[in-house]
Structure 1
Amino acid sequence: MQYISEIDQLNNYPSIDTDVLRTFVAIADQGGFTRAGEKVNRTQSAVSMQMKRLEEDVLQRKLFERDGRQVRLTPEGQVLLGYARRILKLHSEVFNTLREPHMVGLVRIGTPDDYVMRYLPGILKRFSKAYPLIQIEMHCEGTPVLMQRRDLALTVVSREPGNEIGEQLRNERMVWVASPCFCVDEHETLPLAIAGLDSFCTQWARASLEAVGREYRLAYHSSNGAAIQAVVGAGLAVTVMMESLVPDDLRILGSDEGFGPLHTVNLRLLRNPNMTSPITECLAEYILEGFRL
């Protein structure tokens, strides 16, 4: 009887079409109704009508705050966004599993190596649990190299503000980092460890030091993020990295030690239009969700 009553209760709730949820997520990701309409192949007026019905007739909650052409989610909208992403992912899994119960194949993905330990383990664990027969081939290189590759189905890259491409994964604040044993005052000329000589993050670091008149030298350079962390962990230099990637054995340097704020870097997901498949699209959704957790 308890089970029947719960089913009856569920039947009293209005249903939300997955197309409406897909449009809602597109608005949240794109920041506006017009760009979301382009994403889901609907007109701006059709998108507005869908959201009006969702707000007024279905949920009876305000989901958006409008600021000119920009659209922000209300607290209720943020709650719905989390559920919407989960529902759409499960919806995709149902169709992929039942229509193609033996999804088998190879997906090549590219990512800078410092993202691998922080984000990829959880993403790949969830994905492999749902699709155990799919083989994933990972290529870990710097963003400039990855941008030149044409054999990768999915690529995670870093982009500077105003130069974004692909889909938004997350924004990350860049910070100055050193070993707890590194004493800034002992170095008249600051030794820097950098991952890319011409990267925009290196340019930000140099500009920040030059703005305060701090002398420095490029002491260590490697395209391998683990190598840079090893040098910094040994107390040989300072570096810049995304705040979420700072390990527990390193410390963030602040203004009290003479280090100014740095810019925010954008993490983006690129999909190769020549390598689209149900497998790559499914993995892309897992990556999008995993970076937002």
Structure 2
Amino acid sequence: MANYPSIDAELLRSFVAIADHGGFTRAAEAVNRTQSAISMQMKRLEEDVLQRSVFERDGRQVRLTPEGQILLGYARRILKLHGEVLTTLREPHMVGSVRIGTPDDYVMRFLPGILSRFAQAYPLVQVEVHCEPSYQLLQRRDLDLSIVTREPGTEIGQLLRRERFVWAEAPGFNTHEQRPMPLAMFNTECFCRAWACNALDSLEIPYRVAYTSPSLSALMAVVSAGLAVTAQLQSLVTADMRLLGEAEGMPELPMSSIVLLRSERNQSQVSETLAEHIVEGFRL
């Protein structure tokens, strides 16, 4: 049997962070290490452990090599199992409570699976969910964890995923052809509303914000009735909706980042374990 070197979990954790954040600097912040320490870890991983390059370097940008892509899949599985073993054996009867804040957008799309898996593993933990827009969650200091949407370049916390905003309307309607085009959008404090309006202004498409609500389900009900067009993250648009793009004369919308914030004052094993479930759930 070949005597291969073992791969330290910390090496894999740093490697995954680089892949997720697109560079060494942000990865170092995510895993609470210096950039030089991350660089030394990756040098050790490539030269001593794998004897293969896992990154292609282009200035400050890094991309995964084919071998790196293969390693990324294994690394995620190994770290997931590593975390499950430790939490199951060290905290088999974890008790306590955790307060999580999230916009209404993500409650139906992501939270059911996340909370279901967490409850199966830790049935004695009480989870308190607060649904508020991102700009309000950013101002709160009483939550253990918060999931918020951020504009590119303003990311803080741990990146969960990046997604593009898309236009959507009900099938069977041509609401986007109405002038002014009726929109169903979140309230004025939401930056995605400004993005949508600015994009339409750039093409000189007349519009009016006909419906507003802090609730995604309310907005989608309006859109489903053929009363308005909306702009939302692509994962939040249900399969029964019609996506609109260049062919329909609609402007392209930018990418957005979904991030996880941890409280600086209320850190605990319970909240960190739920945070791990949230990170995994947003990758599914």
Q: Is the TM-score greater than 0.5? A: yes
> Could you report, residue by residue, the CA deviation over 1:183-217 in whole angstroms, capped at 9, with x for unpaired residues?
24762211111112232111111111112221111
RMSD over aligned CA atoms reads 2.0
> Could you report, residue by residue, the CA deviation over 1:50-108 in whole angstroms, capped at 9, with x for unpaired residues?
32232233223221111112222223222222322332232233223322321011111
Residue 125 of structure 2 is aligned to residue 134 of structure 1: yes
Task: Quote the residue 1:58 is aligned against.
Answer: 49
Task: Quote the residue 2:110 is aligned against.
Answer: 119
Task: Quote the residue 1:260 is aligned against.
Answer: 251
- Report deviation, 1:139: 1.2
> Could you report, residue by residue, the CA deviation over 1:125-153 in whole angstroms, capped at 9, with x for unpaired residues?
22222222222111111111211222211
What amino acid is the match of 2:122? Y
Structure 1 stretches lacking a partner, 5+ long: 1-8
> Could you report, residue by residue, the CA deviation over 1:100-120 in whole angstroms, capped at 9, with x for unpaired residues?
321011111111112122112
Q: Is the 8 A contact 1:63 1:74 kept in 2?
A: yes
Q: Which has the higher mean CA deviation after the structures are superposed, 121-130 or 135-144?
A: 121-130
- Report deviation, 1:239: 0.7
Q: Secondary structure at the match of 1:125?
A: helix
Structure 1 CA distance for aligned equivalents of residues 190 and 182 of structure 2: 18
Match of 2:274 among 261, 266, 283: 283
Q: Is the 8 A contact 1:184 1:257 kept in 2?
A: no
Q: Which has the higher mean CA deviation after the structures are superposed, 17-26 or 105-114?
A: 17-26
Q: Is the 8 A contact 2:102 2:130 kept in 1?
A: yes
Structure 2 CA distance for aligned equivalents of residues 209 and 263 of structure 1: 13
Which has the higher Rg, Structure 1 or Structure 2?
A: 1
Q: Secondary structure at the match of 1:256?
A: helix
Structure 2 stretches lacking a partner, 5+ long: none
Match of 1:82 among 73, 78, 83: 73
> Could you report, residue by residue, the CA deviation over 1:31-52 in whole angstroms, capped at 9, with x for unpaired residues?
3334444554545444333322
Structure 2 CA distance for aligned equivalents of residues 107 and 223 of structure 1: 24
Structure 2 CA distance for aligned equivalents of residues 67 and 292 of structure 1: 26
Residues 189 and 77 (structure 1 numbering): CA distance in 2 closer, same or farther, change over 3 Å? Answer: same
Structure 2 CA distance for aligned equivalents of residues 40 and 203 of structure 1: 33
Q: TM-score, normalised by structure 1?
A: 0.89
- Report deviation, 1:166: 1.2
Residue 261 of structure 2 is aligned to residue 270 of structure 1: yes
* Identity fraction in percent: 63
Q: TM-score, normalised by structure 2?
A: 0.92
User: How is 1:4-153 mapped onto 2 (pairs within 5 angstroms)?
Assistant: 9=1, 12-153=3-144
What amino acid is the match of 1:57? D
Q: Is the 8 A contact 1:96 1:278 kept in 2?
A: no
Q: Would you say how many aligned residue pairs link Structure 1 and Structure 2?
A: 284
Structure 2 CA distance for aligned equivalents of residues 135 and 118 of structure 1: 21
Residues 185 and 52 (structure 1 numbering): CA distance in 2 closer, same or farther, change over 3 Å? Answer: closer
Match of 2:199 among 204, 208, 212: 208
Structure 2 CA distance for aligned equivalents of residues 108 and 41 of structure 1: 24
Structure 2 CA distance for aligned equivalents of residues 109 and 205 of structure 1: 29
> Could you report, residue by residue, the CA deviation over 1:203-257 in whole angstroms, capped at 9, with x for unpaired residues?
1111111122211111111001100000000001111011111112211112222
